[in-house]
Amino acid sequence: MNTHRTIELIAPSGYPQDPEAVHRALARLHAEGHRVEGIQATERRYQRFAGTDGQRAAELNRLADPSRDLPDIVLAVRGGYGAVRILHGLDYDGLQRRLADQPVAFCGHSDFTAIQLALFARAGLTTFGGPMLVSDFGAEALSSFTMHHFWDTLSKPDFTLKVNAPQAQAVDVSGTLWGGNLAVLTSLIGTPYLPPVQGGILFVEDVNEQPFRIERMIYQLHLSGILAQQQALVLGDFSGGKPYESDNGYDLKEMVEQVRSVIGIPVITGLPFGHIPDMVTLPVGALAQLHATAHGFELAVSGYPHLG
């Protein structure tokens, strides 16, 4: 049984389109004894967003208020689109003062990547790429793998992920673990919201993107000089983007071989992270060691806020 936690919901992007998923998620969390706050975040609607830009920014900024008790977990309701519209309105100084030394776990993925990278770049806050309320806690079939890794990661100061996916390159590097959704990450290039990580281990994922589009975004990271500053590129899941008939055999595997031949750093494949039922939880901004062989890879992670 997990320790009972206080979970505050935020919806910085789209609104939940499946009310039943929200109900399932809340019922499961309440059944485990957790206290869920901010449920109104699941009810707001403004065009395609979960509230106006001002409402969604204020939802995050209230966490900087020293008069409020902090939750254990800040959980994104869902992704979609919209987080980039509120980046300029966040109180980074206030959030840093309030949260820098507090074991509060921000968690989400997909469009939430924009919030995570901005908090890391502007406030030095480490967050978690992991499950969200609707798609994961509210899934019709709850993934025991996802839930175990989420709660296990948040409850201790370090973990080692072992993946039995054969690798084409032997790798033994260490650095800052960072990344998230590839399309969101590349959209922040040239802005003050992309952290200037040197010697990092960059992980990326995406959904419904064809191989050539994935390659184009990786090339953008390469040509802008960002990949040259990293120790390794770790690829998560890229489901949903089927090649076109006109691609003439050019698929995800061919794409990986192409970028591997030009970017100048190791490319690791098979990370169970992304828009998939069984996903790991990864701290964005933590310290990591990556060891890969022909038999698979290990990712040892430490130095992130944990709930104990």
* Catalytic positions, written as ranges: 110, 205, 275
Instruction: Label residue 187 exposed, middle or buried (CB < 10 Å: 0-12, 13-18, 19+).
Output: middle
State the DSSP H helix or E strand holding residue 8, giving kind and residue range, or none if neither. strand 6-10
Could you tell me which residues are beta bridge partners of residue 177?
201
Helix 252-262 × helix 211-223 angle, to 10°: 10
* Longest distance between any two alpha carbons in the chain, whole Å: 60
Instruction: Label residue 164 exposed, middle or buried (CB < 10 Å: 0-12, 13-18, 19+).
Output: exposed
DSSP 40: G
Q: Tokens for 254, please give them.
A: 């061919």
Backbone angles phi, psi at 196, to 5 degrees: -85, 65
Instruction: Label residue 68 exposed, middle or buried (CB < 10 Å: 0-12, 13-18, 19+).
Output: exposed
CB within 8 Å of 96: residues ≥ 6 apart: 122, 123, 124, 125
Q: Tokens for 138, please give them.
A: 């509210």
Cβ atoms of residues 116 and 188 within 8 Å: no
Could you tell me which residues are beta bridge partners of residue 105?
73
CB within 8 Å of 240: residues ≥ 6 apart: 207, 208, 209, 275
Among residues 264, 263, 298, 304, the alpha carbon closest in space to that of 283 is found at: 304
